[in-house]
Structure formats: structure tokens, C-alpha cells
Chain A
Amino acid sequence: MSMIISLQGVVKRYVRGKQQIEVLHKLALEVAGGEFLALMGPSGSGKTTLLNLIAGLDQPTEGEVNVAGERIDRLSGSQLGRWRARHIGFVFQFYNLLPVLTAQENVEVPLLLTHLSASQRKQNARMALELVGLGDRASHKPNELSGGQLQRVSIARALVSDPTLLVCDEPTGDLDRENAEEILKLLQMLNRDQGKTIVMVTHDALAADHASRTLHLDKGHLHGTSARSAA
């Protein structure tokens, strides 16, 4: 199976004041296309840093980062922007939707970077909302939707440009158990039925259970892995 993600010898150091903090130490990781990977670990273990490197939001201090067939640690800021628009769909813990826009307009935002016509953008956004079960809420604004619905809109926005990879940073961290379960099932469905490769950072072991593989990150090192077949 071809690797969508391949990290070799990745080191990430931050400078905070006079201190240099090494967050990731000579890290190696490979993720195959169609995998649903959960990254677990305590706070400060480097989960989000690793996710940011995979998503092209940050650059490693050392090492190689290959994602979707591109060595992204060598790309400039503007090249990374274009690369992200083409390959990455983001799902954030706090949804990060634009409050003034309707659900459909929020989902349309990534498509503004494409050459699609206005009617095509609307149609694609509508389809993405249908896919996450919110076709009837297209004209609702974020303040008219529940937490679970907001996260579904956020997932629709991540999916609408048909990215190679979905990266989810604590997608259920702000939801109650029932809504969290619905979101996780939705991600599972996207992985299983649409073949989407997903990398999800989570604190929640129950959430990680929905992934096909779980990696534990502690103090910048990847510890034991576990793999299961998706439910």
C-alpha cells in the first residue's frame, strides 16, 4: 500500500525566551493511504506539533516530511499555502467557522481558491453538507446550530475540496459524549466509504477506538502502536 505520509528523522525545536525546547526527537512515521490514524498522548507531548508538520502548517527543524507525494519541508510559505488548499482538509476542536456566514457559505470558503463558478461552488457546498447530514441546515448561521452540527459543518468544509488527507485536531474535544460519538462515526464513514485518509489528534481513548490505528506520543517520542480493523 502506498504511503500518504512519511516522516524521517523529524526534529522540532522551539525557542521560548532564552530556552530551546525540543518537542519532537528524531521521529519517524508512515501512514498508508486510506488509514484512520489516532494520535494520543498527554498535554505537551507534541501531538499538535506533529499534526501541524503533517498538515504543512509548520516546518521541522530537521528531517524530512513527505505528504501526498510532496517533500513539504522544502516548500516556501506560499507554496505550502497552495499545497494545503489542494491536499489538506482541517477539522478544529472549536470549529472555527465564520460567524456571519451561513453553513453553506462557510463550506464554500475553501472553494474560493479554485476556479469553480459561483453555482458550482454552491452545488459542491450543498453536496458536502448533505454528506454530513446537514442538507436542511444550509442557510443557518453558526449561532443557530448545536455543537455537533457546527462540527459537521466544519467537516463539510474540510471535505468540500476533496482533499487527499483529513487532519482533525481534537474534533470531539468540545462535544458531549453523544455528539462526539456521532462525529466519530461520521469520520469512520468517510474513511470507510469515501476512502479518506484521516489523522486525528485526541485525548480521548474512546475516540481513538474509532481509528484503525493508534499511536501514542510521549515527550516527543512515538511509543507503542496498536492497530485494529475499523468498526
Chain B
Amino acid sequence: MKYLILIRAGLWRKKTRTLLTMASIMVAFLLFGLIQGINQDIKKGLGDSSNARLWTASRVGLLSSLPISLLSRIAAVEGVRAIAHVSLFGGYFRDARNAIPAFATNVDQLAVVYPELNISHTQIDAMKSTRAGALVGRFLANEYGWKVGDQIPLGTTLWRNVDGRNSWTFNIVGIFDADPKYARNSLGGSLWLNYDYWDEARLFDRHHVHQFIIRIDNPAHATAIASQIDRLFANSSDETRTQTESAAIQSQLESLADVDFIANAMVGAVMFTLLFLTANTMMQSVRERIPELAVLRTLGFSGGAVCALVLVESALLCLIAAIIGLILSAVAIEMVGTSLGTTVLPPVVVIVGLVIAAVLAIVSGLLPAVRAQRLNIVDALAAR
């Protein structure tokens, strides 16, 4: 602790340079926290997704529909406990920029397949008694200030109703509170409509759905049941592709991009650049202070002590900035939230971030520290 004044003297010698370097490290770790936080969130989302649920969609693609008549045949497959269907409404509220994740479904079965949504019997009954009813996730309701009893107009570019208009009106009959990990995702943060009402009212593609979601009795049988379902419709005009929920989400993400690779590549590039920046700062700082370090050696400080001083300087520079960067990223993630619903920076990201900061400090500080340790006092005092 008593050497703190020397560490302060080293870091504060060029205040602006130190602050700018710290700012660079801080921004890099803010970026690291955000990218890896979201990446971990996605991985966690995949981990949370279940192998006890199967998603069956058209083999042609997710947006190609399947006849609802397939439902009874799938339900008859051994091991299937419950089956819900989901169709994309794709709405917006007042303005096309306010996109609303809205889906048509059979709510009573959705509540069985997804107990995590915490849809109550009262809400199911309310949906049954109000054909134009809608259930809304708490997060979405709060975002637009909706409450039970509100009548909301939703536009959609996908569906026209029998009147030829693309404007639909629904009555909010319930607001459900999904489990936290589902609260903001496309299930718990969505608006659910009565399929029967919507199907009768739409102009085309009637009696079709986009996806079946099946709850099975034993996750160990997932592959066998999925194959059995797909075999049922093989060589028909409605061939299906059935996957476990986790595999389906992963394949959807991979169809967009290899998120893990992109996240790691971006972080790697940032950290590599940062290494040069910090190493250069430390090198420059030590080079400018050679006479001062020589004076310390003259006064009796050992080579090891001077080496340690430079390494601690480097560690403080990197760690303080990294901690501030990670705190800012945690605040940003909490404020903005992420697509998969988690609003907390995963502890693993914080730990990895601190380890990276420590490695950065050692690697960038090592060379100047060794130089400080090995300096020849006589030459350094004579500025040779």
C-alpha cells in the first residue's frame, strides 16, 4: 500500500494520456460486455429451450403453412401429450414502425404446451367467451400502456379480412405474467389471438397454420417421435420438418448468421487492437520515465520492485477501465434488454472480462516492466 504514491506518480505523470487510454479500454470492455452478454443470452436461451417440445413446420420453410387437419394425425402419434398451433399475424399498432409480435393460436392448448407463460384458466375462459379477444404479455402491455378491456386496432401487411381491409380490432381480455426468462421473448412478450376467429375473418389461406408445437411425454424419445411425425407426411403435398425446440431455435439463428463466431471475432479484433494500444502506452510511459526509474534504483529500490511497480501500474490501468466498461455494459443491458429476455450481464461474461483485462495488463506491461528491471543505472542517469 505504501508504494501507491509511486504508482500514482507513474500513472498520473501524463494525465491526459492515461485517461484516454483508460477510455479506450473502457469502451472496448463496454463493447465486450454487450456483445458477449447478448451472445451468452442467446446460448442461455438455447439452453433453456426444451427437448420436451417439438416444433413441426412445413419442410418448404417456416412461413409456408400446413393444413390444420394435420393436427389430429400428429396428436395420434404415440408419446404426444398436447399440441398447439401457431400462425404469424405480423401486426403493427397505429404505425408500421410499431411492430407487434402477434400470433393466432388455440390458447387452451398453448397454455398446456407452454406452462411457463402462466396463462390462467380465467384468461382461457375469457378468450373462449370473446372471439375477438387477445391475451398480451405484461412487458408488451406495459410498453404500449394497454390494459384489460382496451380495444386495440392492429394493422397487418400479411392478412386482409373478409371486408378487404388490413385493419383488425381486438379486445384485450387478459395480461399474463410469463416466467422471467420468457417475459420478453417471442412467446411471453407477444399478443395471442383466437385462431378460430381470425381464420374465419381472413380472406385467404384459411384452415392453415404455420407451426405445430408438440409437448411429448419423454424428451429421450424426441428424435423418434419427430421422425415418426415427418414420416406420416412424407411424399405428400404437405411434407413436414420436425425438430426439438432447441434445435429449431439454433437452426433459425444459424440461418441468420453464426452469432457465436461473429461475437468472438469482433471481441478478438477489439482486444487485439487494445493490446497494442495499451502496450504502446506502457512502453512510452516507461521510456519517458527511465531517469526517474533510475533514481528509484539509485535510492535502493531493487530491479524486482521497479518491475513490480510497472506491472501494477499496467494492471490498475487495465482493470479499473475494464471494470467501469463492464459496469456500463451491465447497465446498458439492463436498460435495453435483449431479444431473448435476459436483462442481467451473465456472471461468466464478467469473469471472462476480468481475466482478459488481467492478461492484457500482464502482456502489455511485461516488456516495459522487464526493461525497467534491467536498466543500467549509470547509463540511465546519464540519459544514454
Contacts and interface: CB of A to CB of B under 8 A. Distances in A.
B8 A57 contact: no
A81 B300 contact: yes
Contact of A105 (B5, B298, B377, B381): B5
A113 B298 contact: no
A118 B2 contact: yes
A27 interface: no
Q: Which A-B residue pairs are the 10 nearest by beta carbons?
A: A85-B300, A100-B9, A96-B295, A98-B9, A100-B12, A84-B300, A110-B299, A81-B300, A81-B302, A58-B378
Contacts of B3: 112
B207 to A, nearest CB: 79
Nearest to B299: A110
Contact of A81 (B8, B292, B297): B297
A229 interface: no
Contact of A57 (B2, B12, B292, B378): B378
Contact of B381 (A82, A84, A92, A118): A92
A184 interface: no
A108 interface: yes
Contacts of A48: 382
B272 interface: no
Given A81-B297, A81-B301, A96-B381, 11 more contacts: A48-B382, A57-B378, A78-B302, A81-B302, A84-B299, A90-B295, A96-B291, A100-B12, A112-B3, A113-B300, A113-B301
Contacts of B12: 100
A17 interface: no
A75 to B, nearest CB: 12
B13 A110 contact: no
A121 to B, nearest CB: 8
A85 B299 CA distance: 6
Nearest to B289: A98
Interface in B271-322: 291-292, 295-303
A112 B6 contact: yes
17 contacts: A58-B378, A77-B303, A78-B302, A78-B303, A81-B297, A81-B301, A81-B302, A82-B300, A84-B299, A90-B295, A96-B295, A98-B9, A100-B8, A100-B12, A112-B2, A112-B5, A113-B299
Contacts of A113: 299-301
A185 to B, nearest CB: 25
A101 interface: yes
A147 to B, nearest CB: 17
A109 interface: yes
A97 to B, nearest CB: 8
B300 A90 contact: no
Interface residues of B, number: 23
Interface string B346-384: 000000000000000000000000000000011001100
A99 interface: yes
Contacts of A55: 298
A90 B299 CA distance: 8
A100 B13 contact: yes
Interface string A74-90: 00011001101110001
A179 interface: no
A52 interface: yes
Nearest to A89: B299
Nearest to A78: B302
A165 to B, nearest CB: 13
Contacts of A81: 297, 300-302
A109 B299 contact: yes
B38 to A, nearest CB: 41
A101 B9 contact: yes
Contacts of B292: 96, 98
Contacts of A121: 2
Interface in A99-117: 99-101, 105, 108-110, 112-113
Interface in B1-53: 2-3, 5-6, 8-9, 12-13
Contacts of B382: 48
A217 to B, nearest CB: 17
B268 to A, nearest CB: 36
B378 A101 contact: no
A138 B49 CA distance: 67
A58 B379 CA distance: 10
Contact of A101 (B5, B302, B381): B5
Contacts of A86: 300
Which of B3, B12, B295 has the most A CB atoms < 10 Å from its CB?
B295
Contacts of A90: 295, 298-299
A94 to B, nearest CB: 8
Interface string B197-210: 00000000000000
A200 B275 CA distance: 46
Contacts of A98: 6, 9, 292
Interface string A51-85: 01001011000000000000000000110011011
A158 to B, nearest CB: 9
A90 B300 CA distance: 11
A98 B299 CA distance: 13
Nearest to B297: A81
Contacts of B298: 55, 57, 84, 90
Contacts of B299: 84-85, 90, 109-110, 113
A57 B377 contact: yes
A212 B354 CA distance: 61
Contacts of B6: 98, 109, 112
